[in-house]
């Protein structure tokens, strides 16, 4: 297997998982978030299943010295939750509750060419872009060494 194939396969399996799980229908997502109404608890098992599998497998994977096609495993911010993390997550949740789409299901559903996604996905990319512009501006005052290389820290 080559790195391009593994990346493609990973995206493919991710999308099929989302579809089978019911995440690509916003009615399910909104029903899950509607705890005060006729709460649809099923989607809790999506995150539960994903975490169970990934938590177990990542332990095995990290017994290796390095990934198959990369020099190092990802590293993560060791800092405590900060205002940016919480504010961003709060805004994301509002958008999620309004539309019923988070990024993965939105991009998977884009393949159907359905009109709502032709509205939602470009707006989501505009949001990605705005956040990146804002953060680049915010870090411009910092010294060069403190500025993370763009794309170098894709991990949460």
Partner 1 sequence: MTSSILLPLLGGGLIGLSASLLLLANGRVAGISGVVGSLLAPVRGDIAWRVLFFAGLLAGGLLLAWLRPGAFPAPASPSAGGAWLLAGAGLLVGFGSRLGNGCTSGHGVCGISRGSVRSIAATLTFMATGVLTVFLVRHVL
Residue numbers 8-67 binding partner 1 by CB under 8 A: 8-27, 30, 33-37, 42-55, 57-58, 61, 64, 66-67
Pick out residues in 57-116 that bind partner 1 (CB under 8 A): 57-58, 61, 64, 66-74, 76-77, 79-81, 84-99, 101-104, 106-112, 114-116
Residue 140 beta carbon to partner 1: minimum distance, rounded to whole angstroms = 14
Q: Count of residues for the chain?
A: 156
What are the backbone dihedrals phi and psi of residue 72, each rounded to the nearest 5 degrees, phi first? -140, 160
d(CA 43, CA 41): 6
Residue 143 beta carbon to partner 1: minimum distance, rounded to whole angstroms = 20
Reported in sequence order, the residue ranges of 15-150 that DSSP labels E, i.e. its strands, are: none
Residue 153 beta carbon to partner 1: minimum distance, rounded to whole angstroms = 8
Residue in the structure block whose two tokens are 């870090």: 139
**Hey, what's the torsion of the CAs at 3, 49, 23, 61, to 10 degrees?**
-10
* 4 closest CA partner among 82, 69, 73, 83: 69
Tell whether residue 147 is a contact of partner 1 (CB under 8 A). no
Q: Which is nearer to partner 1, 60 or 145 (CB)?
A: 60
Residue 142 beta carbon to partner 1: minimum distance, rounded to whole angstroms = 17
């Amino acid at each position: 297997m080559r790195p391009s194939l593994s990346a493609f396969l990973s995206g493919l399996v991710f999308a099929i998982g989302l579809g089978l799980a019911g995440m690509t229908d916003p009615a399910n997502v909104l029903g899950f978030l509607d705890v005060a109404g006729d709460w649809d608890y099923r989607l809790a098992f999506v995150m539960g299943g994903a975490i169970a599998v990934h938590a177990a497998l990542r332990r095995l994977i990290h017994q290796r010295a390095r990934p198959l096609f990369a020099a190092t495993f990802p590293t993560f911010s060791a800092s405590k939750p900060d205002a940016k993390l919480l504010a961003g997550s709060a805004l994301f949740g509002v958008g999620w509750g309004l539309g019923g789409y988070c990024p993965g299901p939105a991009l998977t559903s884009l393949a159907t060419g359905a009109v709502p996604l032709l509205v939602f996905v470009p707006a989501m990319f505009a949001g990605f872009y705005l956040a990146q512009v804002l953060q680049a501006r915010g870090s411009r005052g910092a010294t060069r060494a403190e500025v993370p290389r763009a794309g170098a820290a894709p991990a949460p």
